[in-house]
Chains A and B, each alone.
Chain A
C-alpha cells in the first residue's frame, strides 16, 4: 500500500498508533471492495480482482466482515433468540417459536370473536357507529373554546398530549368540569393525528381507531409494562389496542365516563376503543372495576375468553384463571354475565352484590366473606388518583423510588403500593380540601428504617422523590433476609425475582455497578431456586470482573454458573472465567480453562485469540 493511501486511511480511522499489517490489509481490501465495480466484460481488471481475492483469503478481518454480512443475508433463523438477553429463551428457542405462533393465532381468534361477541352480548344501543364518533366531540363548545382548540391544534406539543390540552382549557375556565378530559380532547386529537402522520412517514397508515387516546395510566406500582415498555409514568395516555401488563405490584387505568379499572400482578388487559359500549379485554389475571352510573345507552364490560360481565354502574371484578376458568364477582350494584358468549349469547345471568359466578360451574353462588378483599385492595386510593384523572381539574404526578426498591408507599392516609410507584394526584384550588396542605410520603421496608418526607404540592408536572433507605443493624448483618421479609409482608404486592432482576438491570444501565451487584446478590439469596438466580451469575461475574475489580469473586460467580449444569450462557461463563483467572495471574489455571473452552466451543469467535493465548502460556 502506498504512503498516501496509508495516510488517508489513518485520517479516516484516526488511530493513535500505527496499525498492524493485518489492519492495513483489511483497509486496503475495504477500499478496493467499495471502489471495484461489478465485473463486466469491458471493465474487468484481473490484477485488482486478484489482489482483492488474495487479501480476502489471507486476512482474518476480511473473513469476519464477510461472515457477518453472510449471516445477515441468510437471515439465519436459528439465531432468532439472542441468548445473551434471556437464557430461558435461548434454551427453549423452539418452544418459544411455538409460543409465538400460539399467541398470534389466539390474538387472531380474539380479534374475530370480539367482533362477533359485541352485538349479542351488549344491549342494543340507540347510537350508530357514526353517531358514536360525533358523540365524543365536545358537544357544547363556545366559539372561544373552538378558537382555543384550533390554536391548540397548531402547536404539536399540546396537540399530541391531551393532558396539556386539557389543562389549558381548564385554566380558561371554559370547561364545565363535568365530562372526562378524554372526551374534551377528542376534537383536537383528530388534528393531532394529522400532525403526527406528517411528522413521520408515508408508511404510517394506521386507522384512526388505533390512535384513539382512550385511557390514562392513573397509578402503577412495581413492574408494569405498556405495549412492552417499562419506562412509564402516571398520567401517560393509553391508546386503543394498548396492552397493559402487570408483572408485579398493580396498575390502575382511568377510562372515560368515570370508569376505573385496576389490575393485580400477573394480569394483562387490552385497552378498548372509545364507544358507548366500552369493553376491557382481560387476557389473564384479576381486574377490579368501579364505575359511576352510566347514561342510557352507555355501558362498560370486562370480558375474558367466552365470558363477558356487563355493567351500567357498579363495583365488580373478573378473574381469568390460568386454568382457563373465568370468575366474576360483584361487590356493589348489578352485573349481567354472559357465559359462553360465542355459542349462547342469550344465556345471561344477573348477579347482584355479594354474588359470584364461575364459568365452569355456571351457577350463581354467594361470595365467600373475604373474597371481596383482593378486588377492593386493588382499587385502593381511588378517591385520590380517580379524582385526579377523572375530572377536569389540574393534577400533578408523583414518582417515588427507593433504594432498595419494594418499599411500601403511603401518601397522606393512602396506602398506594410498593416502589417504584407513580400516581396522579390532584392539586390546586379544585383539589380542596387538600390544596395548600402539606403532604406526606412515607416509606416502609422490612429490615430498614422507615422514612418520610413532607412537601407542598405547589404545581403540576412530575414530582420525583427518591428515598435511600438505611438498613437496620439486625438486617445489615444478614442482608439475605431483606427481600423475603418484604415479600412476606407484601402479600399481593410482593417483590419478586423478576422485579429485582429488572431493578438490577436498571442499575447497570445507570452505571451504579456496586448497587447492581448487590441487587443481583440479594436476588440470589432471596430466591435461590429461581431460574433468575442462575442466570444472573454471569452478569454478576462480569460486573465483578470489569467494573468492581473483584476477579476472585467473579471467578466464583462464573464457576457457580458452570457448576449448576448446562446453560445457554456457558460459553460466556467460560470466557469470563478465563479472564478472571488471567486477572489474578493464575497462569496454569487459565491455560486449563482455555483448553476446556476450546474443546467445548471450537467454533467460538474468541477461538483464534484464545489459541494464541494458549500458545503464549505454554511457551513460558
Chain B
C-alpha cells in the first residue's frame, strides 16, 4: 500500500496498530494507556451508572485492542476508537435496558419497589454530569453523540436504530432540558442571593 502523503503521526499510529494486531504486549499497553481516559470519559457520558460505565469502558478497550487489524491509516486513531467505544457502550446500554425491562416483567412489583432505584440522583450543580444525569437514556445518547462526537443526525439514527425524526426530537428535547436547567439554576441563585 502506498504510504506517501501521510503524516508522521499517522504512520506511527499505523505501526502501533499493526503491532497490537500481532498481540505485542508493549503495543497493547501503549494503545490501552493512550485510549483509556478518552474511552472512560465517553462511556461515562453515555451511561448514568458509574459501574456500568466502567464495565463499558473495559469492554470498549477490549474491542479496540481486538479490532486493531481493522484500523486503516487514512483514519484518525482517536476517532476510530471513539466510534468503537460508542458502539460498544450503546450495545451494553441496550442489553442492560432489555434485561431490566424483562426482569421487571418477571419479578413481583412489590419487590421491585423495595429495590434501589436504577436512577442516580442528579446533583444540584450545573455541571455536565449533573445535566446528563437528568436526561433519559435515549436523549442522553443522542445528545452525547451529537455534541461530543459531532455525529450527524443520520449517523446517530444508524447507531441507535431510531428514525431520523425521533433522533432530531431527542436532541431538541435534550437541548430544551439543558436550557430549562440553566434557567432554574439562575432563578434559584437569584432567590438564594435575594437579587434579581
A interface residues (Cβ-Cβ under 8 A, vs B): 12-13, 15, 19-20, 22-23, 26-27, 30, 60-61, 64-65, 68-69, 71-73, 75-82, 84-86, 97-98, 100-101, 103-105, 107-108, 112, 157, 160-161, 163-164, 196, 199-206, 225, 227-231, 233, 236, 399, 401, 461-462, 464, 466, 505-506, 508-510, 605-606, 608-609, 612-613, 616
Distance in angstroms between the alpha carbons of A225 and B50 in the assembled complex: 14
**Which chain A residues border B116 with CB–CB below 8 Å?**
230-231, 505-506, 509-510
B3 within 8 A of A: no
Closest to B143 in A: A72
Q: Which of A78, A97, A101 has the most CB of B within 10 A?
A: A101
Distance in angstroms between the alpha carbons of A12 and B61 in the assembled complex: 43
Q: Which of B32, B65, B66 has the most CB of A within 10 A?
A: B32
When the two chains form their complex, are residues A613 and B192 in contact, meaning their CB atoms are under 8 A apart? yes
B29 within 8 A of A: yes
When the two chains form their complex, are residues B44 and A76 in contact, meaning their CB atoms are under 8 A apart? no
Q: How many residues of B contact A (CB 8 A)?
A: 77
When the two chains form their complex, are residues A30 and B179 in contact, meaning their CB atoms are under 8 A apart? yes
Closest to A236 in B: B103
Closest to B127 in A: A605
Known: A20-B186, A100-B40, A104-B32. A65 touches B50 (CB 8 A): no
**Which chain A residues border B98 with CB–CB below 8 Å?**
196, 199-200
- List 13 A-B residue pairs with CB atoms under 8 Å apart, sorted by A's residue number: A26-B182, A61-B183, A72-B148, A77-B37, A81-B44, A84-B129, A97-B37, A104-B65, A196-B98, A228-B49, A229-B51, A505-B116, A613-B193
**Which chain A residues border B23 with CB–CB below 8 Å?**
112
**Which chain B residues border A75 with CB–CB below 8 Å?**
38, 41-42, 45, 82, 148
When the two chains form their complex, are residues B182 and A61 in contact, meaning their CB atoms are under 8 A apart? yes
B22 within 8 A of A: no
B144 within 8 A of A: yes
**Which chain B residues border A19 with CB–CB below 8 Å?**
183
Known: A73-B147, A605-B127. A98 touches B106 (CB 8 A): no
Known: A65-B179, A100-B57. A508 touches B52 (CB 8 A): no
Distance in angstroms between the alpha carbons of A61 and B49 in the assembled complex: 28
Distance in angstroms between the alpha carbons of A506 and B120 in the assembled complex: 11
Distance in angstroms between the alpha carbons of A510 and B23 in the assembled complex: 48
Closest to A156 in B: B102
**Which chain B residues border A401 with CB–CB below 8 Å?**
114
Known: A61-B182, A71-B128, A84-B123. A77 touches B192 (CB 8 A): no
When the two chains form their complex, are residues B41 and A76 in contact, meaning their CB atoms are under 8 A apart? yes
Distance in angstroms between the alpha carbons of A84 and B50 in the assembled complex: 11
Closest to A610 in B: B193
A156 to chain B, nearest CB (A): 8
Distance in angstroms between the alpha carbons of A491 and B137 in the assembled complex: 42
Which of B50, B90, B117, B118 is within 8 Å of A85, CB to CB? B50
B110 within 8 A of A: yes
Distance in angstroms between the alpha carbons of A76 and B87 in the assembled complex: 20
B126 to chain A, nearest CB (A): 6
Which of B62, B180, B182 is within 8 Å of A64, CB to CB? B182
When the two chains form their complex, are residues A231 and B118 in contact, meaning their CB atoms are under 8 A apart? yes
**Which chain B residues border A505 with CB–CB below 8 Å?**
116
Which of A65, A77, A157, A202 is within 8 Å of B38, CB to CB? A77
When the two chains form their complex, are residues B37 and A161 in contact, meaning their CB atoms are under 8 A apart? no
When the two chains form their complex, are residues B190 and A20 in contact, meaning their CB atoms are under 8 A apart? yes
When the two chains form their complex, are residues B54 and A82 in contact, meaning their CB atoms are under 8 A apart? no
Distance in angstroms between the alpha carbons of A15 and B108 in the assembled complex: 40
Distance in angstroms between the alpha carbons of A82 and B40 in the assembled complex: 11
Distance in angstroms between the alpha carbons of A198 and B192 in the assembled complex: 51
When the two chains form their complex, are residues A20 and B108 in contact, meaning their CB atoms are under 8 A apart? no
Known: A75-B148, A161-B106. A82 touches B62 (CB 8 A): no
